[in-house]
Amino acid sequence: MKIKNNALNVLFRPIWRDNPINIQMLGICSALAVTVQLKTALVMALSMTFVISCSGFMISLIRKQIPKNIRIIVELSIISTFVILTDEFLRAYFYDISKQLSVFVGLIITNCIVMGRAESFALSNPPHLAFIDGVGNGIGYGSVLLSVAFIRELLGAGKCFGMQVVPDYLYSMGYEDAGFMLLAPAAFIIIGLLVWLQKVLTKGSP
Amino acid sequence: MSDQMKTIVFAFVLCLVCSTLLTAASTRLQPLQAKNIQTDRKKNILMAISLIDSNRKYKNNEIDRLYNENIYKYFIDQTGTIIDLTTPSDTTREDLLPVYLAMDNTKKIRSYIIPVESRGLWGKIYGYLALKDDGATIIGFAVYKHSETPGLGGEIENRWFQKNFVGKKIVDQNNDFMSISIAKGRAADQVSGEKLPNYVDGISGATLTGQYLTRGLSEILSEYEPASIRFRQNILQCRMQSEVPWCENEN
């Protein structure tokens, strides 16, 4: 029973209380870049979840064998292997999306969240927990990405997952999409507001 | 085993496992990726002649069908003669330039499409420029590969920028060759009325991308100028290995 509780805790902690973007302020760069549309944000979130959880699992599996002096390089090799696999897969099956995501899938390698989880969690916990921790962090990262993308796509293009949601009569009444929302600074502001919101909701207690 | 030895062996095994995995994945997915890239190019050719709507999603076989029905790939030599390369001896000729012809169902040429390969700010820009059969009017421009800054020069891949090319001319008022230029900012603010057909609106914050693309387009259009002249004068001469009806001279 205790183990299960622990696993649940590992899963949910990074989603809200320890959210990688809102609380730890990691991975902001990609969050600015891929959140213009919900579709790219979703694919990015899934790729990220896959990479964090699988690399966490693998690193944890061989954590007792990894020589301490080449620890970081070993982690990076494993992470980059998974990132390249993801990139190749997207290129083969989701070419349009991979074109839109361009370099950002490749840049998951440098995302601090992945490295951070490998160093601080996978190296000192058993594989199944490392995997769950990866899923949790992926969801935590993805939920922020999707919220930001939802706001940006809705206000910036009047769409939701590429479908028109702002009715035509509003446009004919003079409503205009806020082009600013499509630019990177808008994402910065929205993330800032989300951080504020979460801090208010949790009353600043960690 | 000493610690040092253990480290080296570990690193070696890890590299071996990772590279085997990556090689396997890359080999297995290569054909699919190659197909995607090819389809994407076909899609961009079709987009340049507005045969497909950029907002709609097309299936791969739909694009293949549209492409096969409408687009024919030929080559032109330095005199502007259109050549059909079916004999292998010709494929080694270096003076030949590829050209795509869009034909209607009576096999008459509607437009010709020039592959664009231009220098950009950070890397090469690849795309297609489609011209009407009058040899003077641009009917579309599409970019399928570039490495410009996303949000600035990267906007060249977006429809709003590419739409600016539609209806512009590659000739001046006397019907002489004059390449298309990307203005710095709005074209109307920069040049006067009679030159306006040769200028498209630029992207703010991406002046250099515009400059490189202007230069690149000018070089490419000059290379294809012999063919464009023939289109302008309506004297298409074709040297075809395989007989196709449209090949007859119109003069």
* Pairing status of strand B109-119 against strand B238-239: unpaired
Report pLDDT for A204: 60
Which of A74, A97, A103, A105 to mutate: most B Cβ within 10 Å? A74
A88 vs B11, B29, B151: nearest CB: B29
- Convert chain B into a string of H (helix), E (strand) and C (coil): CCHHHHHHHHHHHHHHHHHHHHHHHHHHHHHHHHHHHHHHHHHHHHHHCCCCCCCCCCCHHHHHHHHHHHEEEEEECCCCCEECCCCHHHHHCCCCEEEEEEECCCCCEEEEEEEEEEECCCCEEEEEEEEECCCCEEEEEEEEECCCCCCCHHHHHCHHHHHCCCCCECECCCCCECCCEECCCCHHHHCCHHHHHHEECCCCCCHHHHHHHHHHHHHHHHHHHHHHHHHHHCCCCEECCCCCHHHCCCC
A69 vs B7, B39, B40: nearest CB: B7
A95 vs B11, B14, B36: nearest CB: B36
Yes or no, beta carbons of A99 and B40 under 8 Å apart: yes
Yes or no, beta carbons of A66 and B10 under 8 Å apart: yes
The reply to whether A164 touches chain B by the CB within 8 Å rule is no
The reply to whether A84 touches chain B by the CB within 8 Å rule is yes
Which of B36, B54, B57 to mutate: most A Cβ within 10 Å? B36
Kindly tell me if the per-residue pLDDT of B156 is higher than 60.
yes
Kindly tell me if the per-residue pLDDT of B114 is higher than 50.
yes
Contact A77, A41 (CB under 8 A): no
B21 vs A69, A81, A99: nearest CB: A81
Chain B residues inside the 8 Å CB shell of A70 = 7, 10-11
Yes or no, beta carbons of A77 and B18 under 8 Å apart: yes
A81 vs B3, B22, B40: nearest CB: B22
* Annotated domain spans of chain B: 70-247
Chain A residues inside the 8 Å CB shell of B29 = 88-89, 91-92
Mean pLDDT of chain B, nearest integer:
83
For residues A91-104, give the mean pLDDT: 84
Q: Residue A2 — very low, low, confident or very high, per pLDDT cuts 50/70/90?
A: low
The reply to whether A95 touches chain B by the CB within 8 Å rule is yes
Report pLDDT for B135: 86
**Greater model confidence, A171 or B247:** A171
Chain B residues inside the 8 Å CB shell of A66 = 10
Kindly tell me if the per-residue pLDDT of A165 is higher than 80.
yes
Kindly report the pTM of this predicted structure: 0.79
**Greater model confidence, A137 or A30:** A137
Enumerate chain B positions whose Cβ falls within 8 A of a Cβ in A: 3, 6-7, 10-11, 14-15, 18, 21-22, 25-26, 29, 32-33, 36-37, 39-40, 150-151
Q: Residue B57 — very low, low, confident or very high, per pLDDT cuts 50/70/90?
A: confident
Lowest mean pLDDT: which of A192-196, B19-23, B244-248? B244-248
Kindly tell me if the per-residue pLDDT of B91 is higher than 70.
no
A74 vs B14, B25, B37: nearest CB: B14
Yes or no, beta carbons of B25 and A89 under 8 Å apart: yes
* Annotated domain spans of chain A: 15-201
Report pLDDT for B89: 55
Chain A residues inside the 8 Å CB shell of B150 = 33, 102
Q: Residue B248 — very low, low, confident or very high, per pLDDT cuts 50/70/90?
A: very low
What whole-number percentage of chain B has pLDDT above 70? 88
Report pLDDT for B88: 52
Report pLDDT for A1: 44
Residue of B nearest to A91 (CA): B33
A88 vs B6, B10, B25: nearest CB: B25
Q: Any long-range contacts for B119-122 (C-beta under 8 Å, 24+ apart)?
A: B119/B212, B119/B215, B119/B216, B120/B146, B120/B147, B120/B148, B120/B153, B120/B209, B120/B212, B120/B213, B120/B216, B121/B148, B121/B149, B121/B153, B121/B206, B121/B208, B121/B209, B121/B212, B122/B147, B122/B148, B122/B149, B122/B153
Q: Residue B251 — very low, low, confident or very high, per pLDDT cuts 50/70/90?
A: very low
Yes or no, beta carbons of B11 and A74 under 8 Å apart: yes
Report pLDDT for A182: 80
User: How many inter-chain contacts (A to B, CB under 8 Å) are there?
Assistant: 51
**Greater model confidence, B125 or B149:** B125
